[in-house]
A and B are shown apart, each in its own frame.
Chain A
Amino acid sequence: MRLVRVQVPEFRALKDVDITFEPDFYPQVFPVGSLNGGGKSTLLQLIFVLLHCSAHKERHPFVANMLDRVTISESQTSSILAKFELLEGGKKIELEFTLCNDGYLRELDIDPIFNREMVSFGIFRRQDWLLESLEKSDEELEEEFYRLLSHELNDPESKITMEEMESDFENAMKEREYFQPLIKNIKKSLIAKNQFCITSFYSKQELGLICNFSGSKKDIKEILTSISKRIFLSAPSTQIYLFLSKNEKQQLFKSKADPKNSYLYQYSIEQSKNSLRNFLTYDVFATDTLVSLIETARNQDFKTLVDTGTNGITYPKIIEELNALTRDKTVFPLLDDKANIIGVVFKTPEGTDIYPEDLSHGELKRLSLYVWLKLIIPQDENIVLMDEIENGFHLDWQYTIVRDLIEWGKTNQYILATHSYELCTALTPAHVKEIELKPIAK
């Protein structure tokens, strides 16, 4: 998978962004620069959220958070948010994410039996259950209801009565009876235009995010699911993540005198990772994964010894690679009494033991990136978005990180938001992309 082109007409600090990442360039590493406030981080987060979250309902709240402040002018019914051109297996996929208001839906070819005033993104947003129930028959829903009812009745803490539940269910079924054909009708009209409603949300007005697609005969959900698995984002944990809720973002700006405030923001980031599987903050170092890597290499070499009578080379190779990641330290596995590997320790040239948590910021970051790219991310054609990768690296490492990234994930495409001139010199000027500053409104 390659991201070939991204266009963002206007979103927050971004204005008329149109960047091409040439698929025939070598290496597939593209620094993206701009002055402070130019929107580099916003662009990476927008790309990640749209491509990683669209196919998965449980990630849609992140999309809504990201689009928190968007509006469409009254004279319009839709506005293009972002356009992507991707390559998958040599085939071009074009996706256009458009923000639409109710007026857009009302212009669709909807059966006149429906009241136009009822045609609104609100019905998508208000009735998640309605959407889910589209796939089910009345009998299945009744069965589900009675199961739930029995569960509630057996719960001594339940405050809802059986009559209330039956009444709610009856109302929901009536609503469904009316809205189900309407929603089906809207979806059919969208599909006829090669469009798919990703989600709907409220941002000063009822809005929906619609995806137009072309270039593939596959089902749009299948395409978006496939893309979502291949797009990754890594960034510093102190970054403002626009895909978090307003309350969560505000924690970052509250007084640090109360340690709870900074903890809450970090907690929100960690919580988001439960849903955003392809999201990494640089501070995370997976010791367990490293232990598992060393153990696997040791076992593999032992098997080679049993099979061939000669020692394997996997273990020394892994140790050599790990040694190269720190400035001057040597990696040793920590063993228990039965020679199980239970951790890792780094020895300084003076012989002092250093534990992973004691490494320098830059060393820890290199290790965490190594573990993430080489061991956690599947070795595939992924699109890896990295924000401020140079932070914590001295100038030499800012240059060599480009080579490291290629080495650790050879088949990936990397898009790096950066201020580092040194990093760019590891590539050709044509690799470097720029986001122009949005003109200041008078």
Chain B
Amino acid sequence: MSLSPTELHLHCQEIIKLSQRKKGIIILCEGNINEIKGRVERYRRLEIFPDANFYKACIPIWWTEKRPTFVPCGDRKDVIDTYFSLVDAANNSDIPSGIDKNKFFAIIDLDLQPHAFSNYVVTDTEALYSLYYQNGKFQPIGINQHSIFITGLIYKEAYFLVPDLQPLFDHHFTVFYNDQPLNLDGLYQIMAQALSDDNNLCTHFPRACGRLNHLATLDFTNVATLQESWLQTFLSANEPEKSQLIYALLTIHQVKDYWKAFTPKDTIPEARFKEQLTLAIGGFYSRQPLDSEHHLPCFFKTLSTHTL
């Protein structure tokens, strides 16, 4: 359910006030809209860990001043609507409004279902994806032309399943999947075997293929041949090729259900466990070196070049 015009207007007013208080940039992201500023007691009463706090936890440790502020805006459409409303407010104000449109950025989740832009430098979210990612790698394009970012993997949850996180799942959190200690390599094969049953992928198969055409070993005839070729190649792949295949899978196949099936070893309630694991994964991305190829650290590195 997207924001009504009144809700959108009120939300933008809140963000404008926030942007006038904060020195750093404001990044609009997906997630339930909760209060932007608040009291300790109100934060405690939130039933779920805000999505924005995952991104906040990912901010690199080297970014010590004027750190970006993430503001949840609802679903993908809401994020885009909010961004353009803020830009309009800055452009259309007759009197000096104190709104600095250069402060506003947005990050949206990649999906197989595209969203068309009515008045932006690219036509839709798929074109935005192609702009930022080539062969699955983040491209640091000119930040002054593009203020809307898109994740390189399908939904932010895909970032919870990248291969480099295996040590975190082994040592700091004991994560179980199907009552067994989580083994990501095994999970990727389970995911690949389910490609044919992924209705969203079947519907948007040509678009998915467009994202993976740099992988010559895959057979894009149909979903079944893609599934088969992925599995065969994966089993005999060397390290760099294997990594490419995993990232390819996480670019086209919805992972939320797998993430939901993660369970803790301990008695800790599952929801609490997931929140804490999310926070720890954010910490993992925040500690990546400057030359990291992980998408999120690259995103922050690009953002940090923006001067206000």
* Chain A interface residues toward B at CB < 8 A: 22, 24-26, 31, 33-35, 324, 327, 395-396, 399-400, 403, 418-421, 424-430, 432-434
Q: Judging by beta carbons under 8 Å apart, are A421 and B47 in contact?
A: no
Total number of A-B contacts with CB less than 8 angstroms? 79
Known A25-B272, A33-B39; 8 more pairs at CB < 8 Å: A22-B268, A33-B40, A33-B41, A399-B56, A428-B49, A428-B276, A429-B46, A429-B48
With a 10 A CB-CB cut-off, give which of A420, A432, A433 has the most chain B CB atoms: A432
Q: Closest residue of chain A to B36, judged by CB?
A: A421
Asked if B40 contacts A418 (CB within 8 A), the reply is yes
A sample of 17 cross-chain residue pairs with beta-carbon separation below 8 angstroms, ordered by A number, consists of A25-B276, A31-B40, A33-B39, A34-B41, A327-B64, A395-B22, A396-B64, A399-B56, A403-B286, A420-B40, A425-B53, A428-B276, A428-B279, A429-B45, A429-B47, A432-B44, A434-B40
Q: Are B173 and A396 in contact (CB under 8 A)?
A: no
| Smallest Cβ-Cβ distance to A433: which chain B residue | B44
Which residue from chain A places its CB closest to the CB of B70 in the assembled complex?
A: A425
Q: Across the interface, which residues of A come within 8 angstroms of B50, CB to CB?
A: 425
The answer to whether A421 touches B57, judged by C-beta atoms less than 8 angstroms apart, is no
* Residue B163, interface by CB 8 Å: no
**Whole-angstrom distance between the Cβ of A87 and the nearest chain B Cβ:** 14
Does the CB pair A429–B44 fall under 8 Å? yes
Chain B residue, CB-CB nearest to A417:
B40
Asked if B65 contacts A396 (CB within 8 A), the reply is: yes
Contact call A403/B283, Cβ cutoff below 8 A: yes
Q: Bin chain B's interface residue count.
A: 35 or more
With A26-B276, A428-B49 as given contacts, are A434 and B61 in contact (CB-CB < 8 Å)? no
Residue of chain A at shortest CB distance from B53:
A425
Q: Given contacts A425-B56, A428-B272, A430-B272, are A33 and B44 in contact (CB under 8 A)? A: yes
Q: Which residue of A lies closest to B269 (CB)?
A: A430
Pairwise interchain contact B268-A424, C-beta atoms closer than 8 A:
no
Contact A419 B40 (CB under 8 A): yes
Contacts of B275 in A (CB 8 A): 428-430
- Asked whether any CB of chain A lies closer than 8 Å to the CB of B117, the reply is no
* B40: contacting residue among A400, A421, A426, CB under 8 A: A421
Q: Mark B263-284, 1 if CB is under 8 A from A, else 0.
A: 0001110001001100110010
Task: Report how far A425 CA is from B50 CA in the complex, Å.
Answer: 9
B50-102 residues at the A interface, CB under 8 angstroms: 50, 53, 56-57, 61, 64-67
- Smallest CB-CB A-B distances: 4 pairs: A33-B40, A432-B44, A428-B275, A429-B46
**Chain A hits for B266, CB < 8 A:** 24
Min CB distance B24 to A, Å, is 8
Chain B residues, CB < 8 A from A327: 64-65
Distance in angstroms between the alpha carbons of A432 and B272 in the assembled complex: 12
Q: Are A26 and B280 in contact (CB under 8 A)?
A: yes
Report how far A324 CA is from B57 CA in the complex, Å: 18
CB distance from B181 to the nearest CB of A (A): 17
Residues of B within 8 A of A421 (CB): 37-40, 42-43
In angstroms, Cα B272 to Cα A365, docked, is 32
- Docked CA distance A25–B279 (Å): 12
Question: Cβ of A403 and Cβ of B61 under 8 Å apart?
Answer: yes
How far in angstroms is the closest Cβ of chain B from A240? Answer: 21
> Given contacts A396-B64, A421-B38, A429-B49, are A25 and B44 in contact (CB under 8 A)?
no
User: Contact check: which of A399, A419, A428 meets B67 at CB < 8 Å?
Assistant: A399
**Contact between B44 and A424 (Cβ–Cβ < 8 Å)?**
yes
Residues of A contacting B22 in the complex (Cβ-Cβ under 8 angstroms) = 395
Chain A residues closer than 8 Å to B49, beta-carbon distance: 428-429
B152 smallest CB distance to A (angstroms): 25
